A and B are shown apart, each in its own frame.
Chain A
Amino acid sequence: MPSKPQKIALDFEKPIIDLEDKIKEMKEFAQSTGVELTDDIKRLEKKSKQLRKEIFSNLNRWQRYQLAKHPLRPYMLDYVEGMCSYFEELHGDRYFADDKAIVSGFAQIDDISLVIVGQQKGRDTKQKLFRNFGMSNPEGYRKALRVMEMAAKFNKPIVTLIDTPGAYPGLGAEERGQAQAIAYNMFKMSHLPVPIINVVIGEGASGGALGIGVGDRILMMENSWYSVISPEGCAAILWRDAVHAPKAAEAMKVTAIDAKELGVVDEIIPEPQGGAHLAKEVAISNVKKAILRNIKELMKIPADELIDQRVEKYSKMGFWKE
């Protein structure tokens, strides 16, 4: 990683980063001039550790939401690269186009051959545009389904890595049936006769996420979010102004802990302190372990039973009185 983008910091990360910069400066100064600063440096390093603990052990929902969108956070292809000994990307929906916001392909993780589908965001401006900010068009969902149906055909488990700020709300997307594409994916995914694991690695925005998000196990990374609309979108509608997004994040309870408490998510995958971007290898390794453990459990279940369990799993979701 080049050192410059490492400085991208969220507001609440700033005090830590400033302090760490100061420690780095002092170290450099001590080394070049020979001035004795060891005790001062030690003191500041202790302070930095404490500060990290203070800030990161009490993250509110809005802060976690920001971590989920952190520009340095690992993206889908970082996980693929870190987890897989083999990956061959398969392109195109066979009808219209190859949507760059969704990546799908054959993969190997340790001793398991599988299919991986996920949303990919771009790191720099050019890549962001190329990936359409991780916002898929209908052909992306149709490509995903094509590849997942092939997984079923060849008896390969499916892992979906979810990271999208939403399905693309554009003219062409509507013309080509964004709603139908998402609906049809859920419809078909509910009955594919192979294990399906959905992992929300960053942003789980609404139908855009759910279009590749139906499966036997739903896992969320500790600092990811998943809800029916983004906090900004919710605030724009209910508070008539997106600046109230932090309130909307609280009200909608968008975090992994919330989703687990509400009975939607099966497992929370721990992240390194301060977020996945601060120790990518750890984050990737945690995701890999969770995926393998769940796949191995699910592979023992006969396909008919697996499908029945999957439909029943969703049929239990929600709360009501009668």
Chain B
Amino acid sequence: MDWFKRKKEALKPAEKKDIPDGLWVKCESCGEVIYKKELEKRMYVCPKCDYHFRIGSADYISILFDDDSFEEFNQGMQAVDPLHFKDSKKYSEKYKATVKKTKMNEAVVTGTGTIESHPVVMALMDFKFLGGSMGSVVGEKISRAIDKAIETNTPMIILSSSGGARMHEGILSLMQMAKTSAKLARLANKKIPYISILTNPTTGGTTASYAMLGDVQIAEPGALIGFAGPRVIKQTIGQDLPPGFQRSEFVQEHGFLDLIVHRHELKQRIGKLLEFFAHKN
């Protein structure tokens, strides 16, 4: 009955030492001051209140994948500013600055690797790249990742962390929702499993496409998940939103998530799902 066994790390209380700034992090939820190295060891989950800090695609790769198994593809793909979009700044300039600052080429990383020895194709979004917004490149990279899952008959996983579609690419961003949903339907017809992982936040066009189309829908605890943003809804209805509105637990209660999984258990639980899917009767 080894599915009851979960990898659990020893809970060490954060020791309060007089250490210079930058080595300590304050929990955004409970205010606890945590030693940064301790937080890192705990996968950026608050030891006091279990708040899941937002982390990037590289962190998730190291959390989920077997050592050195992840191989990225389509790494160099970049946006081209098809609308010549400009608000206070040119999109092309903003984009260049973001690439420089984040050392990433886009808001999604795609690749292959193994999780608990099971091969997968995975796309991991990253909020720090323009709010994890979905434009042509995000749509195309995810679409190609799905193609690869179909070609190699390998389970597909998408981890979402995104404010929605990217306004700077207008209707082209919108169409990425249709593109990825159509490809996922093709994947589904081949009976290849698709696991969707929703992290904080997953909203807008991302939720209204691939994030909500998983065979299994998993969220981290407390993640903001919704279609419209809370501010817009508040404006529309003219009253305060109920506590916990659009959080993982609320979304599960309303029937749209299979599982809420603590970050410490994410790898093992996904491994078991993959094992279940792979098992031949």
A319 proximal to B (CB < 8 A): yes
A8 proximal to B (CB < 8 A): no
B27 proximal to A (CB < 8 A): no
**Chain A: CB-nearest residue to B137:** A320
User: Are A238 and B205 in touch, CB under 8 angstroms?
Assistant: no
Chain B residues positioned under 8 Å from A26 (CB to CB):
none
User: Are A186 and B254 in touch, CB under 8 angstroms?
Assistant: no
Q: How far is the CB of A225 from chain B (nearest CB, A)?
A: 9
Give the CA-CA distance A315 to B227 in the complex, in Å: 23
Chain B 166-187 interface 0/1 with A at a Cβ cutoff of 8 Å (1 = within): 1101111111111101111110
B211 proximal to A (CB < 8 A): yes
Q: How far is the CB of B132 from chain A (nearest CB, A)?
A: 15
A299 proximal to B (CB < 8 A): no
**Chain B: CB-nearest residue to A188:** B185
Chain B residues positioned under 8 Å from A311 (CB to CB):
182-183, 185-186
User: Are A179 and B172 in touch, CB under 8 angstroms?
Assistant: no
Give the most central of A187, A264, A311: most B CB within 10 Å.
A187
Chain A residues positioned under 8 Å from B237 (CB to CB):
170-171
B82, B233, B254: the one within 8 Å of A319 (CB):
B82
Q: How far is the CB of A79 from chain B (nearest CB, A)?
A: 22
A186-B182, A262-B172, A318-B176 given; A238·B208 CB < 8 A = no
A167 proximal to B (CB < 8 A): yes
User: Are B178 and A321 in touch, CB under 8 angstroms?
Assistant: no
Chain A residues positioned under 8 Å from B261 (CB to CB):
none
Chain A residues positioned under 8 Å from B85 (CB to CB):
251-252
A170-B233, A238-B167, A318-B140 given; A182·B227 CB < 8 A = yes
B170, B178, B233: the one within 8 Å of A314 (CB):
B178
User: Are A228 and B165 in touch, CB under 8 angstroms?
Assistant: yes
Give the CA-CA distance A207 to B86 in the complex, in Å: 23
User: Are B208 and A179 in touch, CB under 8 angstroms?
Assistant: yes
In the complex, the number of residue pairs spanning A and B with C-beta atoms less than 8 Å apart equals: 196
Give the CA-CA distance A262 to B83 in the complex, in Å: 9
Chain B residues positioned under 8 Å from A178 (CB to CB):
208, 227-228
B80 proximal to A (CB < 8 A): yes
Chain B residues positioned under 8 Å from A173 (CB to CB):
227-228
User: Are B136 and A320 in touch, CB under 8 angstroms?
Assistant: yes
User: Are A180 and B256 in touch, CB under 8 angstroms?
Assistant: yes
Chain B residues positioned under 8 Å from A214 (CB to CB):
178, 181-182
For chain B, the count of residues having a C-beta within 8 Å of the partner chain is: 63
User: Are B178 and A252 in touch, CB under 8 angstroms?
Assistant: no
User: Are B77 and A321 in touch, CB under 8 angstroms?
Assistant: yes
Chain A interface bracket (under 10, 10 to 19, 20 to 34, 35 or more): 35 or more
Give the most central of B167, B227, B245: most A CB within 10 Å.
B227
User: Are B208 and A190 in touch, CB under 8 angstroms?
Assistant: no
A180, A239, A310: the one within 8 Å of B212 (CB):
A180
Within 8 A of B (CB), among A119-177: 167-171, 173-177
A206 proximal to B (CB < 8 A): yes
A191 proximal to B (CB < 8 A): yes
Q: How far is the CB of A177 from chain B (nearest CB, A)?
A: 5
Give the CA-CA distance A276 to B172 in the complex, in Å: 26
Chain A residues positioned under 8 Å from B233 (CB to CB):
169-171, 174
Give the CA-CA distance A42 to B210 in the complex, in Å: 61
User: Are A321 and B78 in touch, CB under 8 angstroms?
Assistant: yes
Chain B residues positioned under 8 Å from A207 (CB to CB):
174, 177, 204-205, 208, 227
A184 proximal to B (CB < 8 A): yes
Chain A residues positioned under 8 Å from B79 (CB to CB):
319-321
User: Are B175 and A169 in touch, CB under 8 angstroms?
Assistant: no
A174-B246, A186-B177 given; A191·B189 CB < 8 A = yes
User: Are B227 and A238 in touch, CB under 8 angstroms?
Assistant: no
User: Are A262 and B181 in touch, CB under 8 angstroms?
Assistant: no
Chain B residues positioned under 8 Å from A315 (CB to CB):
143, 179, 182-183
B21 proximal to A (CB < 8 A): no
User: Are A210 and B174 in touch, CB under 8 angstroms?
Assistant: yes
User: Are A186 and B227 in touch, CB under 8 angstroms?
Assistant: no
Chain B residues positioned under 8 Å from A180 (CB to CB):
208, 212, 256
Chain A residues positioned under 8 Å from B10 (CB to CB):
none
User: Are B245 and A174 in touch, CB under 8 angstroms?
Assistant: yes
Chain A residues positioned under 8 Å from B171 (CB to CB):
226-228, 252-254, 258-259, 262, 264
User: Are A228 and B205 in touch, CB under 8 angstroms?
Assistant: yes
User: Are A176 and B254 in touch, CB under 8 angstroms?
Assistant: yes
Q: How far is the CB of B79 from chain A (nearest CB, A)?
A: 6
Chain B residues positioned under 8 Å from A258 (CB to CB):
170-171
Give the CA-CA distance A239 to B87 in the complex, in Å: 7
User: Are B241 and A179 in touch, CB under 8 angstroms?
Assistant: no
Q: How far is the CB of B83 from chain A (nearest CB, A)?
A: 5
Give the CA-CA distance A282 to B233 in the complex, in Å: 39
User: Are A252 and B227 in touch, CB under 8 angstroms?
Assistant: no
User: Are A186 and B181 in touch, CB under 8 angstroms?
Assistant: yes
5 additional contacts (CB under 8 A) given A182-B227, A238-B87, A251-B86: A170-B233, A211-B208, A254-B170, A262-B172, A322-B77
List 28 A–B pairs whose Cβ atoms lie within 8 Å, in order of A's numbering. Answer: A169-B228, A169-B233, A171-B242, A174-B226, A178-B228, A179-B207, A179-B212, A183-B181, A183-B207, A183-B209, A183-B213, A186-B181, A190-B182, A191-B189, A206-B174, A227-B174, A228-B167, A228-B170, A239-B88, A251-B83, A253-B170, A253-B171, A311-B185, A315-B182, A318-B169, A318-B172, A319-B79, A320-B77
Residues of B at the A interface (CB closer than 8 Å) are 74, 76-80, 82-83, 85-88, 135-137, 139-140, 143, 165-167, 169-179, 181-186, 188-189, 204-205, 207-213, 226-228, 232-233, 236-237, 241-242, 245-246, 254-256
